[in-house]
Amino acid sequence: MMSSSEVKLGEYLNGSPKIAYFSMEIGINERIPTYSGGLGVLAGDTLKSCADLNIPIVGVTLLSENGYFYQKIDEHGQQIELPYKFNVDDFLKPLPTTVTVNIEGRDVIVRIWYFTVKGINGYIVPVFFLDTNVEGNDEWDRSLTKYLYGGDNKYRLAQEIILGVGGVRAIHELGYQNIDKYHMNEGHAAFGTLELFKKFKSIDAVRQQCVFTTHTPVAAGHDQFDLNLARSMIGDLLPEEILQDITFDNRLNMTRLALLFSNYVNGVAKKHGEVSRLMFPGYEINTITNGVNTQRWVSDPFHRLFDARMPCWQSDPFVLRSAFGIDKQEIWNAHMEAKRTLIDFVNNRYNIGMNYDYFTMGFARRQTPYKRPDLLISDPERLRHISETVGPIQIIYAGKAHPKDYAGKDIIKKIISAKNNIGGNIKIVYIHNYDITIGKMLTAGVDLWVNTPRRPMEASGTSGMKSAHNGVPQFSTLDGWWIEGRIENITGWAIGSRKSNEKQSDDDADRKDLYDKLENVIIPKFYNDRDNWIRTMRSCIAINASFFNTNRMMQQYVLNAYFI
Ligand SMILES: *Cc1c(COP(=O)(O)O)cnc(C)c1O
């Protein structure tokens, strides 16, 4: 079989892509560390599903040659951030084409690397990685594509110029003449609209060509820059006549820029669409709920089981709905195989002696206060009581905190300390350097996937969709996709209030409900009513995996966003 890197340049340049998809991070391959979390993994899943569906698209992102960061955690729970060591030319091919972008009055050379994603029928989707670490650029400019979300505001602004302006120029320079839509995955690439505006000279003409997906449910989360800084960095590419539409409090707001220039805008779950409409009144904001790439997230044992019981599940994940017909024992056997793989990994790496048969919960995501990673262990006494009276408990954590998120780092310390002091028959482990490989093992190998965001802060969330693909039910606050995906006792369980209009999550009420349900519903069902437990597992696949996948998601983008 030909490896993707051997595909010749001409094979995709001869094609005629219609969509250019821009994302600050793309997690396209578990060995390419140019992503930090959900946004990048979604971008990777999106492009993989495009390749499977023969959707004529190209991806554009930054090289981020030192990744986000490699995470170590010392014995006190202190996160240590190291540059990712990544041999770019083992995975990506350089192109002879370069473009330049103007930053602060300097011409900065941008080199382009590419990677090819091969779909299930051999269809090729190229992904371009922009790189300024090029001879001829000055030292600071050479550093701009090293660290994803690194540096200060000015560094970030420069990165967004490279992604947006450099990205659009790269697409044109590479000879793609038939791009109908420029799709911005989050506002980071919105400066690309300015390049298009320079070319087409009308807001309307640009709007015809732009699609914008917003991922941020809180006002403070939207990317914004001091207007004077933006002016000095972008120069005359920033037209005075649109400033009032895109600035707020003398700050240039990237979401407003993207909104102004896009005639299709969407949030990433129904609730998130609602929240976005309230945040940006006057814009039509649609909803396409996220998904995950089915093949990528199904573990090997389920892969074999699905092959045997539901042929065509890979090319058509809707077929997964017939999982209802699979024998329960087969589901359980596949799960236990995935679980043993995870437990073996954890025991081997951390020497903790976790047990294959004990009830195991997983929590892995960016560590930041709104996700309340420590809610699950916030009452150790209660947890010990449950584990002693109902059945033993194991908990597996993973996740990075952004280097400047000091509250997030404190949460890691808290978890490490709880891990060392919890006692009883509870075992807790924290896997360092959460990435796609660990994510895949974890979402498939635990018995229950736990998620505790404060509502409505989680735009969608996707890891629970990965667990659903492996028959692992989710236990989560009703936020993001879970509002759509949860059927109580059938696909998992809700934590806390179900009132959809509640302003703010109540930590105490959520904690109580979390422990009550673990004690009275979930863990007893796991230990004492295995047959019904497996029924729940099976309906996660049939009801949720068959829908919350990026094949369905991309079909909605094509129908609603691209060909409108
Ligand atoms: C899926 C994934 C995420 C996003 O998960 P959420 O549920 O959206 O928090 C983050 N990091 C990695 C490595 C993932 O695989």
* C-alpha count within 13 angstroms, C-beta hemisphere, residue 23: 27
- Domain map (residue ranges) of the chain: 4-291, 294-548
pLDDT band at residue 502 under the 50/70/90 scheme: low
CB of 452 closer than 6 angstroms to any ligand 1 atom: no
DSSP 435: -
Averaged pLDDT, 158-180: 95
Chain-wide mean pLDDT for the chain?
Answer: 95
Region class of 470: left (phi > 0), else alpha (psi between -120 and 50), else beta: alpha
Homologous superfamily of the 294-548 domain (CATH)? Glycogen Phosphorylase B; (3.40.50.2000)
- Tell me the residue length of the chain: 564
What's the distance, CA 125 to chain centroid?
A: 19
Q: Is the pLDDT of residue 499 over 90?
A: no
**pLDDT tens digits for 407-459?**
999 999 999 999 989 988 899 999 999 999 999 999 999 999 999 999 999 99
* Arithmetic mean of pLDDT, 472-489: 98
Q: pTM of the entire structure? A: 0.96
Residue of 31, 432, 443, 462 to mutate, ligand 1, most atoms within 8 A of C-beta: 462
Q: Is 485 in the pocket of ligand 1 (CB under 6 A)?
A: no
Backbone dihedral angles phi then psi of residue 107, each to the nearest 5 degrees: -85, 120
Q: Rounded to whole angstroms, how far apart are CA atoms 9 and 28? A: 19
pLDDT over 70 at 18, yes or no: yes
Ligand 1 atom closest to Cα of residue 292: 1
End-to-end CA separation in angstroms for the chain: 38
59, 128 contact by CB (below 8 A): yes
- pLDDT surpassing 70 at residue 538: yes
Q: Which residues are CB-contacts of 422 (< 8 A; sequence separation ≥ 6)?
A: 377, 380, 383, 384, 428
Quote the ligand 1 centre to 131 CA distance (angstroms). 25
Residue-wise pLDDT tens digits, 299-337: 999 999 999 999 999 999 999 999 999 999 999 999 999
Of all protein residues, whose CA lies closest to atom 4 belonging to ligand 1? 38
- Three-class HEC string of 120-157: CCCCEEEEEEEECCCCCCCHHHHCCCCCCCCCCHHHHH
| Six token digits for residue 297 | 């997230």
Atom of ligand 1 nearest to the CA of 463: 7
The span from the CA of 126 to the CA of 333, in Å, is 38
Give 272-321 as a 3 state SS string: HHHHHHHHCCCCCCEECCCCECHHHHCCHHHHHHHHHHCCCCCCCHHHHH
Rounded to an integer, what distance in angstroms lies between the CA atom of residue 228 and that of residue 492?
Answer: 50
pLDDT in tens, 69-125: 999 999 999 999 999 999 999 999 999 999 999 999 999 999 999 999 999 999 999
Contact between residue 473 and residue 467 where contact means Cβ atoms under 8 Å apart: yes
**189-204 per-residue burial string, b: 16 or more CB within 10 A, e: under 16:** bbbbbbbbbeeeeebe
* pLDDT value, residue 7: 39
User: Comparing C-alpha atoms, which of 324, 342, 297 is closest to residue 540?
Assistant: 324
C-alpha separations of 368 from 342, 407, 508 in Å: 25, 7, 18
- The predicted model gives 230-246 an average pLDDT of 94
Quote the tokens at residue 489: 């006792």
Return d(Cα 248, Cα 262) in angstroms, integer: 19
CATH 3.40.50.2000 fits 4-291, yes or no: yes
* Ligand 1 closest atom vs CA 466: 1
Residue 313's SS3 state is coil
Q: Residue 547 Cα, ligand 1 centroid: separation in angstroms?
A: 18
Distance 58 CA to ligand 1 centre (A): 23
- Is 4-291's fold the same as 294-548's? yes
What span, in angstroms and rounded, lies between the C-alpha atoms of 164 and 499? 40
CA-nearest residue, atom 8 of ligand 1: 461
- The pLDDT, as a whole number, for residue 10 is 46
The rounded percent of the chain whose pLDDT value lies above 90 is: 92
pLDDT, average across residues 248-276: 96
pLDDT for res 1: 34
Q: Is 463 in the pocket of ligand 1 (CB under 6 A)?
A: yes
CA–CA gap between residue 499 and residue 479 (Å, rounded): 11
